[in-house]
């Protein structure tokens, strides 16, 4: 099969011919039809993730068709249209038994713990636990845009953030995760404030349902949010993952507000200072959110099929495998204004 891989961290990727994967007894082999190009892949390429071992094929936001299954797989057969969570559970650990596959003790992640979907085929372990059936109305390209960013935002807003109709929700960072969070919170009836430093992304956030947009390059984010909301946001989401966005997200909350950290805090932004005085005095909640379980996809997919959510408007362009290899090393510059999807024939 063809795959885009890197043999050294922070060095160019190349498209090469490599061996096709063969399934473990619990696994399925997916013919990749589409794969999102995500900043998390850039972190892996940088060497920020200890799960990544060289040489390596990135790609974790995938959709495609099952072409082979291992002997232990019971629920899936060749030809099934599927997608997967970006973080997959084993099905048997203490977390999985409680329904928390997104933080499985023995997790696997395509594109991190093993080769990913910048390739014609990818293996998904524990297929009976992790594969998600795709409705015919949802295209492979749309499904690939869900895998990490949209599904993660769905759980962050709906489950972890406990959004309610009428809430003020601030979203810091309008990349794929942030724009998804804007759309989902707006669909839930919230009043959404979108924050970014680029006007093109703020314009897209408005199209996704943001009631207010703030350009953080020339405005005091915390002061403006507190003024607009008459005291602060009920829910605030750091969708980027930086010291600045994390701090602003916590500081813009009203009393008993909820901060959800979705953006990865890695490299120079790891372990940010937290304004703990405000957390204590205002009884704020600080909550992490890491992906979504396969069995929870049904509610999100139904909202897409019904038209309440339209993730396809976040897809800015579709590219080839070679173009994905060229794009990955520059994702830290945040090119484009929406989600880029690699497509394969």
Give CA separation, 199 vs 194, 204, 211, 217, 336, in Å.
11, 9, 15, 10, 12
pLDDT of residue 344: 95
The mean predicted confidence, pLDDT, of the chain is 95
CA atoms of 41 and 227, how far apart (whole Å): 37
- Judged on CB neighbours under 10 Å (0-12, 13-18, 19+), 136 is exposed
pLDDT of residue 133: 98
Contact partners, residue 94, CB within 8 Å, separation at least 6: 105
Domain segments of the chain as ranges: 2-148+292-343, 162-288
pLDDT of residue 335: 77
Confidence label for 345 from pLDDT (cuts 50, 70 and 90): confident
pLDDT tens string 135-192: 999 999 999 999 888 999 999 999 999 999 999 999 999 988 999 999 999 999 999 9
CATH number of 2-148+292-343: 3.90.180.10
pLDDT of residue 290: 93
pLDDT tens string 228-264: 999 999 999 999 999 999 999 999 999 999 999 999 8
Confidence label for 59 from pLDDT (cuts 50, 70 and 90): very high
CA atoms of 89 and 176, how far apart (whole Å): 24
pLDDT tens string 296-340: 999 999 999 999 999 999 998 999 999 999 999 999 887 777 789
Contact partners, residue 257, CB within 8 Å, separation at least 6: 232, 233, 234, 235, 236, 282, 284, 285
Contact partners, residue 148, CB within 8 Å, separation at least 6: 36, 38, 40, 60, 61, 86, 176, 177, 291
pLDDT of residue 239: 96
pLDDT of residue 338: 78
Q: pLDDT above 90 covers what percent of the chain?
A: 90
CA atoms of 59 and 342, how far apart (whole Å): 9
Contact partners, residue 69, CB within 8 Å, separation at least 6: 23, 27, 28, 29, 76, 77, 78, 127
Contact partners, residue 166, CB within 8 Å, separation at least 6: 189, 190, 191
pLDDT of residue 313: 92
**Among the CATH numbers 3.90.1150.10, 3.40.50.150, 3.30.420.40, 3.40.50.720, which is that of 162-288?**
3.40.50.720
CA atoms of 32 and 28, how far apart (whole Å): 12
**Poorest-confidence range of 9-18, 214-223, 269-278, 322-331?**
269-278
Q: pTM of the predicted model, to two decimals?
A: 0.91
Residue 14 has pLDDT above 80, yes or no: yes
CA atoms of 253 and 282, how far apart (whole Å): 9
Shared fold status for 2-148+292-343 and 162-288 = no
HSE-up (13 A, CA, CB side) for residue 149: 33
Average pLDDT over residues 102-106: 96
Residues 223 and 170: beta-carbon distance below 8 Å:
no
pLDDT of residue 3: 98
Residue 77 has pLDDT above 90, yes or no: yes
pLDDT of residue 333: 83
Residues 40 and 56: beta-carbon distance below 8 Å:
no
| Three-class secondary structure assignment of 270-282 | CCCCCCHHHHHHC
**Residue closest to 111 by CA, chosen among 13, 238, 239, 242:** 13
Residue 26 has pLDDT above 90, yes or no: yes
pLDDT tens string 116-130: 999 999 999 999 999
């Amino acid at each position: 099969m063809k795959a885009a891989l890197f043999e050294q961290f922070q060095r160019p990727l190349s498209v090469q011919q490599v061996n096709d994967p063969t399934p473990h007894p619990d696994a399925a082999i997916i013919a990749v039809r589409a794969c999102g190009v995500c900043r998390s892949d850039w972190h892996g390429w940088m060497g920020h993730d200890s799960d990544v071992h060289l040489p390596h094929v990135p790609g974790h936001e995938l959709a495609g068709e099952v072409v082979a299954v291992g002997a232990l797989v019971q629920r899936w057969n060749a030809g099934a249209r599927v997608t997967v969570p970006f973080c997959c559970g084993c099905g048997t650990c203490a977390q999985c038994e409680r329904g928390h596959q997104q933080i499985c003790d023995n997790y696997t992640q395509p594109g991190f713990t093993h080769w990913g979907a910048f390739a014609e085929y990818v293996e998904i372990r524990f297929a009976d636990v992790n594969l998600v059936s795709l409705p015919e109305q949802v295209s492979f390209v749309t499904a690939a845009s869900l895998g990490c960013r949209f599904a993660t935002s769905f759980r962050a807003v709906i489950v972890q953030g406990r959004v309610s109709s009428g809430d003020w929700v601030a979203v810091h960072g309008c990349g794929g995760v942030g724009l998804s969070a804007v759309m989902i919170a707006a669909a839930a009836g919230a009043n959404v404030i979108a924050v970014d430093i680029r006007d093109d992304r703020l314009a897209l956030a408005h199209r996704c349902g943001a009631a207010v947009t703030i350009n953080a390059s020339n405005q005091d984010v915390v002061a403006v949010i507190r003024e607009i909301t008459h005291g602060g946001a009920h829910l605030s989401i750091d969708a980027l993952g930086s010291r600045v966005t994390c701090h602003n997200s916590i500081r813009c909350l009203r009393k008993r507000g909820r901060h959800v950290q979705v953006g990865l805090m890695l490299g120079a932004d790891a372990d940010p200072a937290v304004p703990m005085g405000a957390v204590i005095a205002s009884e704020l909640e600080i909550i992490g959110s890491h992906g979504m379980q396969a069995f929870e996809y049904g509610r999100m997919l139904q909202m897409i099929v019904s038209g309440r959510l339209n993730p396809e408007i976040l897809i800015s362009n579709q590219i080839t495998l070679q173009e994905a290899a060229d794009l990955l090393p520059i994702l830290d510059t945040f090119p484009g204004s929406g989600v880029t999807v690699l497509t394969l024939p």
